[in-house]
Amino acid sequence: MDVAREGPVALVTLNRPPVNALSPELMDRLSASMHDLAADEDVRVVVLTGAGRAFCAGGDVAAFAAMDDDELMEAIRAGQRLVWDLEHLDRPTIAAVNGACLGGGNGVAMACDLRIASEDAVFGHPEASLGLTLAYAGSARLARLVGPARAKELMFTARRLSAREALGIGLVNEVVPGPGVLPRALAVKSAIRSLNSRFCALACEGRWSKVALAMLPSTTVVLVMASAERGLSSISAISPK
């Protein structure tokens, strides 16, 4: 993971080839970065993107499949800490989504305030096809963004969405040509950073009120389902290579 500064803007890049899969270590590092950025009063906006051909294709299949129940619970908690810290950052956050944005990767994107997608971005939650449910209160965030009925459809069917489809249902704010996603996100941040910082902080405070209620139940459900199935290795069948 890389963190670069451009004046009051922090650019955080997930950089774990080939598809920036979330390992417990990467989630902890990203969460720690959110704490560091929160403590830096000079940071006004945070832009999150992925290196290479993917934003984030979800969890680290090999790492999760090898975990026992205690290790899996800690990994789930690491993911929850990450999305919690990202969503509770009192600075606006923008996800510049390139390529695959699946499962926990979309959970990270949904924890940001704004999502700008490249035309080649692909969104989805394949968890249902594996006998799992969305972790990190992802179901609550998804329903908040696209509505309960549409969220259920996406969770039940594990259907993948193009960037244009995601825009049409409100999952993303804007779609731009592939090479332009990061420049566009940086252009949006320029407009945001001109706003009063106190206004931005107050606006950020109100974005998460009901999501916290879904955190603990989702942790328990994911662990129980994963322990019962123990089919995590099958995730590799739907993960980009």
Q: Which of 74, 127, 165, 205 is catalytic?
A: 127
In the residue annotation, 127 being an active-site residue is answered as yes
| One-letter-per-residue 3-state SS of the chain | CEEEEECCEEEEEECCCCCCCECHHHHHHHHHHHHHHHHCCCCCEEEEEECCCEEECCECHHHHHCCCHHHHHHHHHHHHHHHHHHHCCCCCEEEEECEEEECHHHHHHHCCCEEEEECCCEEECHHHHHCCCCCCCHHHHHHHHHCHHHHHHHHHHCCCEEHHHHHHCCCCCEEECHHHHHHHHHHHHHHHHCCCHHHHHHHHHCCCCCHHHHHHHHHHHHHHHHHHHCCHHHHHHCCCC
**Residues identified as active-site:** 127
